């Protein structure tokens, strides 16, 4: 599918502009709360890419709180989101279009075959080929930047699928990292960097991330994913059913 926004000259300006900012900020602005003067200023004087994203149509106003005078900006629809990610992935991750398409095909087949582990195996192989210099040494030494980078990577990978993918989905007590929805399944994923898959699953339960989906009727699967910063890859995942019974687990050398 062709995406109108990326056939225009705006895309080149946007992508050149995004290169000026930390890699982990690329999609931070989807769902952000801001004052008007944060996104309506001239792009050339902005210290973030938000004004250009808004003025180019990649972000639109989703809601407005007149009491606090705050706007919520969102990527308007899945077409725009996928088009943005299609263009960002080769630049951010330094992989070819063919590599990205191969990952999407492998993950899509696995997800729609109800095999999350196979999708994560494909993602793990993809991550292994990403150059080490993709983020700066300073970003890598910052725990928050490392975690943000991997969350961005996983979000971008899953967002290219034809399933419904949300990141940092709100619940009463917190936000799930990734929720994947197909016609048959709901997968709730939590990512931990230099931690354990067990702790990721515990957070899903303790924060009630699955509660909004318990009466849905589709099969509900929880998955805790651990990434090692020393191995620079996924080193452990554990998936359970809605009742907490382990249905799949894989560990790799860190």
Question: What does residue 107 show for φ and ψ, rounded to 5 degrees?
Answer: -70, -40
Q: Whole-angstrom Cα distance, residue 165 to residue 122? A: 18
Query: Residue 5 above 60 pLDDT?
Result: no
For 65, the domain range is 4-74
Same domain, 58 and 14: yes
Same domain, 68 and 106: no
Same domain, 118 and 236: yes
Number of domains in the chain: 2
Same domain, 114 and 51: no
Question: What is the structure's pLDDT at 76?
Answer: 87
Query: Residue 81 above 60 pLDDT?
Result: yes
Question: What is the structure's pLDDT at 105?
Answer: 87
The predicted model gives 10-17 an average pLDDT of 67
User: What is the percent of the chain where pLDDT is above 70?
Assistant: 82
- Where residue 172 sits, what CATH number does that domain have? 3.40.1350
Q: What band does 130 get if pLDDT is binned at 50, 70 and 90?
A: confident
Question: What is the structure's pLDDT at 65?
Answer: 94
Q: Whole-angstrom Cα distance, residue 160 to residue 82? A: 6
Strands of the chain (E only): list them: 32-34, 60-65, 70-74, 164-170, 175-181, 185-193, 219-228, 233-241, 246-251
Average pLDDT, the chain: 81
User: What is the percent of the chain where pLDDT is above 90?
Assistant: 34
Contacts 24+ apart (CB under 8 A), 13-21: 13/52, 13/56, 14/49, 14/52, 14/53, 14/56, 14/58, 15/87, 15/88, 15/91, 17/43, 17/49, 17/52, 18/49, 18/88, 18/91, 19/91, 20/49, 21/48, 21/49
Domain assignment present for 246: yes
Domain assignment present for 79: no
Facing residues of 237 across strands? Answer: 225, 250
Same domain, 180 and 227: yes
Domain assignment present for 113: yes
Same domain, 102 and 207: yes
């Amino acid at each position: 599918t062709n995406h109108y926004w990326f056939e225009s000259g705006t895309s080149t300006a946007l992508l050149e502009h995004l290169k000026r900012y930390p890699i982990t900020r690329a999609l931070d602005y989807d769902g952000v709360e801001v004052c008007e003067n944060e996104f309506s200023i001239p792009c050339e004087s902005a210290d973030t890419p938000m004004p250009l994203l808004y003025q180019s149509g990649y972000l639109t106003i989703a809601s407005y709180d007149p009491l606090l005078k705050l706007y919520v900006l969102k990527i308007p629809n899945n077409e725009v989101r996928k088009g943005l990610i299609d263009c960002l992935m080769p630049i951010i991750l330094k992989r070819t279009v063919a590599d990205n398409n191969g990952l999407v095909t492998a993950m899509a087949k696995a997800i729609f075959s109800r095999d999350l582990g196979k999708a994560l195996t494909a993602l793990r192989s993809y991550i292994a080929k990403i150059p080490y210099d993709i983020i700066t040494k300073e970003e890598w030494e910052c725990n928050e930047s490392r975690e943000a980078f991997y969350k961005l990577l996983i979000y971008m990978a899953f967002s290219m699928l034809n399933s419904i993918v949300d990141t940092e989905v709100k619940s009463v007590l917190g936000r799930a990292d990734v929720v994947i929805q197909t016609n048959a399944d709901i997968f709730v994923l939590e990512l931990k960097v230099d931690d354990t898959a067990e702790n990721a699953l515990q957070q899903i339960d303790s924060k009630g991330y699955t509660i909004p989906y318990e009466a849905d009727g589709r099969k509900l699967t929880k998955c805790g994913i651990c990434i090692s910063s020393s191995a620079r890859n996924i080193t452990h995942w554990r998936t359970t059913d809605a009742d907490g019974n382990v249905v799949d687990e894989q560990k790799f050398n860190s």
